[in-house]
Structure 1
Amino acid sequence: MIPSLRLTRLLLQDFRNHARAELRLEAGVVVIAGENGSGKTNLLEAISLLGPGRGLRGAKLAEFGRIGPEGPHPWAVSGRFEGPVGTFDLGTGTTADGGDKRSFRLDGNPVQTQAELGALVAAVWLTPQMDRLFTEAASGRRAFLDRLVWALDPYHAREVAAYGTAMTQRNRLLGDNRGDRAWLDGLEDAMARHGVALTAARRALIARLNAVLAGGVAGAFPAALAALDCSTAAALQARSALEVEDGLRETLAANRGRDAGAGMAVEGPHRCDLRLSHLPKGVPAELCSTGEQKALLISTVLAHAALIAGTRGFAPLLLLDEIAAHLDARRRDALFEALAALPAQSFLTGTEPGTFAPLRGIAQGFSVSPGGVVPDPAFPVPLAA
């Protein structure tokens, strides 16, 4: 039995619209219900900020603090976790003097790196904004892909950041017509090295994800088939990493004039796109119905959670915002059955508590309103919790 990561206590102080909120969490499935704008998603976002990265909204630091007469308050989020390493307390927030830096503390001690967080906490999520994943720009799918990789490889974010920094500096040099050849050579070398490394990690994730999906982990949900639309990934399929690095360097050097005119690098791993298709039908996700697209996203997230559990040794937290939207009754029931059987702790939000009626006796519930967050008597702590 794969152990789960459990969040047993969540405390918010001046976070978004919550002046203060405390949740004692005792079940493997947690239902959070309330009207639109009440702060349900804010609770999930707070949980997501206890791991690496900028959370499920990708928001800026200044957006987290509750707004008062004099502007945003300093904010804090903390959680008590139980996992394979035992019980630990993890907190994040801004400093009391209103500084513009975010800090982390683990059992009261400063956390030095994002990788240190990633070794302890993993979370995957679905939000309503992700329902547009198949119709929006490639950047959204690329960010989704990199989050999947990052949950398995905490160092992947470092490669992505290093590639982006070198690319930004190169764009600036070319835009300013400062064609210092040695400087450009160095930046293009960094782009080639980090670009090939991050692409190799993306390819590895896609291969492992497809294997898990083909194994039937999605249950009643249609399996997705994932692929990369990326020239660097295609090159890695036929050549060694060193050869692909050399080729990318040569391409970047040859494209300096064109890139200067375009104001950006027109080729490279930053142009990568994630393609998903409905495996049983062989239809691209963008041509599927809205309900089928949601089902494909769910199957992908369930497979990713299983992959994390098998790789990291513990099941991650699942944050599922407005998860029942666009799902018919049959698929809702299938989702609830899957979540009840998973070792992962799941958090579900919705506007209508009745939507989650099949989870009574299984899930613990909370009701969110402008007055705060309180336990929902319709979803008491399960006896088996």
Structure 2
Amino acid sequence: MSAPSSSWVSRLLLTRFRSYAEASLEAGPEPVVLTGPNGAGKTNILEALSLLSPGRGLRSATYREMEREGDLPGWAVAARLTGRTGQSDVGTGTTADARDRRQFRIDGSPATSADLLATVNVLWLTPSMDRLFVEGATSRRKFFDRMVLALYPEHAGHVARYEAAMRERGRLLAEERGADPVWLSALERKMAEHGVAVAAARRDALGALQRLIDLKDLGGGAGAASPFPNAILALEGEVEARLTTEKALDVEDWMVETLSQRRGPDRMAGRAGFGVHRTDLVVTHAPKSMLASRCSTGEQKALLIGLVLAQTRLVAELTGYWPLLLLDEIAAHLDGRRRDALFDILMSMGVQAWMTGTDADVFVGLKGHAQLWTIDAGKPLRLAF
């Protein structure tokens, strides 16, 4: 099997985006380091890059929040990208007339979010994700669903249609005069169809990810002796569990029956108490046989980095191209051993990783192998490195 090819951004242009009236960066395929004081706008650049994928980016912000304060409404992000379809000019943004809906263009032609996924995958890790293992199941589920999306582009559509049917069912159940049972049954059937598709994609993605983790090869060596220990992954959900032993169509029928039986309790609770929206991702620190939620902060960070590195290699294995990797403030809370190990893995992968930090000195391990930029007065400036 041939080595994965690089996906990389050679030019990035921002217009009225966050803190930038206008900004441009030129880059090669090597890792990119962005430095500068807090509030300089480093993460804004990573957020712009994350919008080369479907969704609302690494901050999950509204599109109006991305507008430059005090400027005209609307914003734009454009990138020259080398990826699975060769070299492409990709653009996305909003207009004054449609501030809550972003448009996509590839090589000047209208495009969809699915077209973006066919061009490049974008993965990220941010400081807000550091508490992933100690927060509620919702954060872990969304984190894992984005992992699944990188492998199965149709996954987002199934999640969206499942949630839409669930919201409509909840609205009908709340009606004082009682809901139309025929319409409720149709919505429950829709929840079951899309819910089983969601659960099946999750199970397949988890199996593929676990297989790669167990190989103990993330591009620089992982495993018990690595600063990024192996994880054992499990999905804690009734629908996913059923799919282990039953056919998908039988699980759909079971979901429909269960949802029908739960109309009364769900009406009283004001929410659906059953379904794939309640699934949790359970992560265990394999060398210590300890749940991630009980590990130290440093161990949790190491596990999280290991998961993202495994996903990076899995995307490359399945598509033949490395994804773009966005690592916000990645080196700030890593000791020297873990930091050097991370840099070694990134260099051995050949992935274009965009990293931010306040101090350029912590990236010395990448000297000669990365591009260094500083953000000064709202302008990115290239430095010798």
> Is TM > 0.5 for Structure 1 vs Structure 2?
yes
Aligned-residue Cα RMSD (Å) equals 1.2
Q: Distance in 1 between matches of 2:173 and 2:378?
A: 54
Deviation at 1:236, TM superposition (A): 0.7
Q: Distance in 2 between matches of 1:99 and 1:355?
A: 39
Q: What's 1:155 paired with?
A: 154
Q: Distance in 1 between matches of 2:135 and 2:211?
A: 27
- 1:77-96 to structure 2, matched below 5 A, reads 77-95=77-95
Classify the secondary structure of the residue corresponding to 1:20: strand
Cα offsets for 1:154-201 (capped at 9, x unmatched): 110000000000000000011114321000000000000100110000
More moved, 166-175 vs 343-352 = 343-352
Give ranges in structure 1 of 5+ residues lacking alignment. Answer: 380-385
AA aligned opposite 1:249: V
Q: Distance in 1 between matches of 2:316 and 2:23?
A: 30
AA aligned opposite 2:26: R
The yes-or-no answer on 1:307 pairing with 2:309 is no
The yes-or-no answer on 1:270 pairing with 2:277 is yes
- 1:195-210 to structure 2, matched below 5 A, reads 195-210=195-210
Conserved 8 A contact 1:32-1:347:
yes
Classify the secondary structure of the residue corresponding to 1:267: coil
Classify the secondary structure of the residue corresponding to 1:22: strand
Q: What's 1:127 paired with?
A: 126
Q: Distance in 2 between matches of 1:298 and 1:17?
A: 28
Q: Distance in 2 between matches of 1:196 and 1:165?
A: 15
Return structure 1 stretches of 4+ with deviation > 3 angstroms. 96-100
More moved, 173-182 vs 92-101 = 92-101
Deviation at 1:372, TM superposition (A): 1.4
325 and 188 in structure 1: CA distance in 2 versus 1, 3 angstrom threshold: same
Q: What's 1:298 paired with?
A: 305
Give ranges in structure 2 of 5+ residues lacking alignment. Answer: none
Classify the secondary structure of the residue corresponding to 2:373: strand
Cα offsets for 1:37-59 (capped at 9, x unmatched): 11111100000101222111111
Q: What's 1:49 paired with?
A: 51
Q: What's 2:141 paired with?
A: 142
Q: Distance in 1 between matches of 2:72 and 2:328?
A: 25
Q: What's 1:382 paired with?
A: none
Q: Percent identity?
A: 50
Q: Distance in 1 between matches of 2:109 and 2:200?
A: 35
Cα offsets for 1:282-311 (capped at 9, x unmatched): 111011111111111111111101110111
Q: Distance in 2 between matches of 1:144 and 1:93?
A: 24
Conserved 8 A contact 2:104-2:113:
no
Q: What's 2:23 paired with?
A: 21
Classify the secondary structure of the residue corresponding to 1:162: helix
Q: What's 1:104 paired with?
A: 104
Classify the secondary structure of the residue corresponding to 2:128: helix
What TM-score do you get using the length of structure 1 for normalisation? 0.95
What TM-score do you get using the length of structure 2 for normalisation? 0.95
Classify the secondary structure of the residue corresponding to 1:51: coil
Cα offsets for 1:230-257 (capped at 9, x unmatched): 0111111111111111111111000000
Classify the secondary structure of the residue corresponding to 1:319: strand
Q: Distance in 2 between matches of 1:98 and 1:205?
A: 35
AA aligned opposite 1:354: D
